[in-house]
Copies of this chain bind each other. A is one copy, B any other.
Amino acid sequence: MSVAGIGEFGLIDRVTARLTHGAAVLLGPGDDAAVLAAPDARVAASTDVLVEGRHFRRDWSSARDVGHRAAAANLADIAAMGATPTALLVALCMPADLDPAWAEELADGLAAEAGTVGASVAGGDMSASPTLTIAVTALGDLGGLAPVLRSGARPGDVVAVAGRSGYAAAGYTVLSRGFRTPKLLVEAYRRPEVPYAAGPHAARLGATAMIDVSDGLLADLGHVARASGVGIDVRRDAFEVPRQMRDAAQALGVDPYAWILGGGDDHALAATFPPAVALPAPWREVGRVADGAGVTVDGEPYAGPAGWDHFR
């Protein structure tokens, strides 16, 4: 059985039959467009694309895992504006010989990850393609608050992170060396655990800038520093190295801070807050904003790789 065998409309029927819709979906799949609630008369919208062989491998991740990751990458962008995700639209390009079950399980993963924040898959498109590709657009509601931009960090602000750093990058390295454990790291790569609610919470706490950590912590803080016209210093000892990561780093001959500071794909949230704000969990302080430019670690330039360029 292949997607070519059941055809475009057959596959669309099979996939949409598996989807349920959240409260924001006023009209779901099946018409020319979906209609979503945008209660505060604005909508936050972000698009992220995953390409097989570059963002995922079918021998490393199940279809359901890829769905979780594709949804998380987009939902985290919405959370990083301080918004609450409402809906996903999904363009799925797939080889004609793909098993339809793969597409169905992908949809299950997308729907399950979106469901953790009350969002759902509201529409999409499918096409055959030589390259398995998943482009997701996430929409979200700002709940009456101003969006938290990358450009608002001010000297004296505290830099804080919510969510994991380096787990997914460590899991990627483990898999790329041919191992399947430690499970903690491999699973973190397969399905990021994103503290979505920390995004709108940060907006309510008065965060001055926020970003989703997808390129790598230092690279993404670099985006904040550049947009805000400030310097950022990160303290290495603010990051705990979990035992499984320390063991894996030792076994593989890797500096675990290369994962923590340079690895993306955990989709943690990084934000800056005025120093007077008492930071509730899961936010934890990891550095400070100062006059200047660029990102330093413990006051020094960082020699390791800071992030990831999707063309290189």
**Chain B neighbourhood of A33, CB < 8 A:** 44-46, 77-78, 80-81, 83, 138, 140, 147
Complex CA distance for A123 and B139, rounded to whole angstroms: 12
Complex CA distance for A151 and B35, rounded to whole angstroms: 15
Complex CA distance for A129 and B39, rounded to whole angstroms: 37
Interface status of A105 (Cβ within 8 A of chain B): no
Task: Say which one of A61-69, A88-96, A181-189, A274-282 lies at the interface with B.
Answer: A88-96
The answer to whether residues A37 and B26 also contact, given A8-B309, A310-B8, A311-B96 and a CB cut-off of 8 A, is no
Complex CA distance for A176 and B10, rounded to whole angstroms: 28
Interface status of A149 (Cβ within 8 A of chain B): yes
In the complex, chain A residues 1-43 whose Cβ is within 8 Å of any chain B Cβ: 3-4, 7-9, 11, 26-27, 30-43
Interface string of A66-108 (1 = CB under 8 A from B): 0000000000111011010001011101001000000000000
| Interface size, chain A (Cβ < 8 Å) | 74
Complex CA distance for A295 and B215, rounded to whole angstroms: 51
**Chain B neighbourhood of A133, CB < 8 A:** 93, 129, 131, 133, 135
Interface status of A301 (Cβ within 8 A of chain B): no
Complex CA distance for A146 and B9, rounded to whole angstroms: 26
CB distance from A13 to the nearest CB of B (A): 11
Interface status of A58 (Cβ within 8 A of chain B): no
CB distance from A83 to the nearest CB of B (A): 7
Q: Would you call A38 and B35 a contact (CB within 8 A)?
A: no
Complex CA distance for A200 and B96, rounded to whole angstroms: 37
**Chain B neighbourhood of A227, CB < 8 A:** 30-31
In the complex, chain A residues 112-164 whose Cβ is within 8 Å of any chain B Cβ: 122-131, 133, 135, 137-140, 142, 147, 149-151
Q: Would you call A49 and B127 a contact (CB within 8 A)?
A: yes
**Chain B neighbourhood of A48, CB < 8 A:** 91, 125
Interface string of A285-312 (1 = CB under 8 A from B): 0000000000000000000000001111
Q: Would you call B35 and A81 a contact (CB within 8 A)?
A: yes
CB distance from A285 to the nearest CB of B (A): 21
Q: Would you call B130 and A131 a contact (CB within 8 A)?
A: yes
**Chain B neighbourhood of A78, CB < 8 A:** 32-33
In the complex, chain A residues 161-219 whose Cβ is within 8 Å of any chain B Cβ: 210-212
Q: Would you call B30 and A46 a contact (CB within 8 A)?
A: no
Q: Would you call A54 and B129 a contact (CB within 8 A)?
A: yes
Cross-chain pairs A/B with CB under 8 angstroms, 12 sampled: A7-B311, A32-B81, A33-B77, A33-B78, A33-B83, A35-B45, A35-B147, A47-B91, A47-B137, A49-B93, A93-B133, A126-B310
Supplied contacts A3-B311, A45-B89, 9 more A-B pairs, CB within 8 Å: A8-B310, A27-B147, A27-B149, A33-B147, A35-B43, A36-B42, A47-B124, A47-B135, A89-B137
